[in-house]
Structure 1
Amino acid sequence: MTSASVPDFAHALIAPGPTPEYPGRMRRFGQLVGSWSTKSSRLDEESGQWSEREFTWIVQFILDGRAVQDVEVVASATHPSGFETVATAVRVYDPNAGAWRVSFFSPVLGEYCHLVATPHRNGLRQDGTGTDGRLIRWNFTSITAEAYTWEGWVSNDEGASWLLVARNQATRIH
C-alpha cells in the first residue's frame, strides 16, 4: 500500500453501516446510530442531590461494521472546536459469546468501565464493574426511532440491590 492509498484515521475507523455477517445482532446497538440531544440527571451519592446537564451523543458504526462507538460532547467556549469530547464507549459484538463487549472511557471524570451487554425486555442491559470496583448496570429502555431512555445503576451489595444514580432522556437530532 502506498502512502497515497492509506486512508486517514476517521476513514479507517468509521464504517458506512453494519456488517452483513450478523445483521440482527448489529441492529441492537445499531438502532442508536446517529446524533442525539440528551438531558442527563446524576445523583451525588454523598449529598443525595441530583444535578442536571445536557450533552450531544453521537453514535457510529466502526471496525468494518462489527462495532458501534459513541462520543459524548458538550459545548465549550474555551475549546478551539467549540466543543469538548467528554467520554466514549466502544461496543463490539462478540459472536463467540453471543453478547456485546463494552468499554467506556471518560478521562475527564476518571471513569473507566467494562461491561457485557445483552438484550433485556424491550431494550439493552449492560452489566459490569465501575472504576471503584462496584457492580454497575446500564439499561437502554424505551428505544424508538426518535428517543430513548438510559439508566445507570450501582450496587453496594454485590447485586442484591441496586441504586439509580443516572438517567438520560434523549431525542434524535439526525
Structure 2
Amino acid sequence: MSVAEEFAECCAAQRWFVDERWVEKQTAVDNLQLLAECAGYVDDLGQDEVQALMSAAFAPVETLPSDYAAHLVMRWELDDERDRWKWTGELPPARKSGAQDYAPEKRVGRDGKSYYTTQATIEAFHYVLSLGNRERLAEWLRNHPNDAPALLDTLEVA
C-alpha cells in the first residue's frame, strides 16, 4: 500500500466518524492534519497532496437518482407477498377470513360539517372495549363525540 493510499484510508475512516455524527468535520480535519504532520505524510507527499486527499475524502456524496424512492417502494412491494402482485402480474392474494372491508359512513359532526369515523378509531374503540373497564370506555367515548354514534352502531352489528 502506498503512502497516499494509507493516508486516504485514514481520511475515509474520519469521514465515517463525521457521517455517524460522532465527530465534527472540523475536528476530523484538524486531527487528520495533525496525523499528517506527526506521521510524516506531509514530508512524503507534500501539503498540497495531503489537502487533496482530505478534500476527496470529505467531498459530497453523489446524489441519489430522482426515481430512487419509486425504486425503493417497488423493491419493498416485490419483497412483500401482499403487494408483489402489483409488479408481477399475479392475482392479488385472497383476503384472510378475519379481514373486513370498511367503507366509512358519512355523518354530520357536532359542528355541522361532514365527518367520517376512521378505521383506526374503530380499532382503538374495540381495543378499549376489550379492556372491560366501563369507566375508561365511557371516558373514551366522551373524548370522541363525533365517533360515538358510528362506534355504537358497530356494536349493534356485532
TM (norm. structure 2) is 0.21
Higher relative contact order, chain-length normalized (CA < 8 Å, sep 6+) = 1
TM (norm. structure 1) is 0.19
Relative to total residues, which structure has the larger strand share, 1 or 2? 1
